[in-house]
Amino acid sequence: MGLVAPLIPSKLDPPLGFAHRGARAHARENTVEAFALALRLGATALESDVWLTADGVAVLDHDGVVGGRVRRRPIAAVARAELPAHIPALAEVLDAVGTDLHLSLDVKDPAAGPEAVRVAMAADPTLPARLWMCDQDHDRLLALRAVSPHVRLVDSTRLSRIREGIERRAARLQDLGIDALNLHHSDWSGGHTTLVHRFGRLAFGWDAQFERTLDDLLRMGIDGVYSDHVDRMVDALARHAGREGPGSSS
């Protein structure tokens, strides 16, 4: 990722800082404790991957499989009561940490998307407007609007997979009503964020683990960053706010 000289304004003020799998650098990932710690460290947004158990419970885990090396089973084949104790249900996390936050969920299990939106609505009817559902399948994303018209949709992919080019992708997302494009931090440039913003879409960057990476993304006008290191992310957002000054972002 190259250096960015000018400060490009973000569309969100302030940009969102998603604690990747909770405070993953500070606690066991995707646990209630990690999510609660992330908020105590200053994060205002959380991230995880959502899966559906055999009995229809939306749970948060990265790999979607449980068991030892000899016998591994997909979460979809396991009842909620049979899962390891550290894997939380989405409803349990929201009950523990509250709903005054933004939440990004990577829909690794297509069946889990609608249920996750329903759980969010049950926890707080206003939460879908702060619920960012991530998938590379546009049809699956759009189907979530049948559950709630307010849910936020994120095209999560890599630049190498966008064969039509980022400008045409941004135009397509605008036509479909998908809110944001989420790429690895190394895929972004100031020109790319500007193109995405031109079509009224948001630009999110993931795997932002180091201070320079976070600072460069924010200078590029990124609207949301995902990081394991909540302390570094919170500090970077504070530096960015200090550089922009009051009222300088759209």
Name which of 181, 224, 158, 221 is nearest 18 in CA terms: 224
Predicted confidence at residue 248, as pLDDT, reads 42
The model's pTM:
0.93
Say if CB 210 and CB 1 are below 8 A apart: no
Q: What is the pLDDT of residues 115-150, one digit of tens each?
A: 999 999 999 999 999 999 999 999 999 999 999 999
| CATH of the domain spanning 16-52+87-244, picked from 3.40.50.11540, 3.20.20.190, 3.40.30.10, 1.10.760.10 | 3.20.20.190
- Distance CA(68)–CA(86), nearest Å, equals 15
Q: How far apart are CA 221 and CA 11, in angstroms?
A: 7
What does the pLDDT read at residue 68? 72
- The CA-to-CA distance between both ends of the chain, in Å, stands at 25
Convert the pLDDT of each residue in 66-124 to its tens digit.
987 668 899 999 999 999 999 999 999 999 999 999 999 999 999 999 999 999 999 99
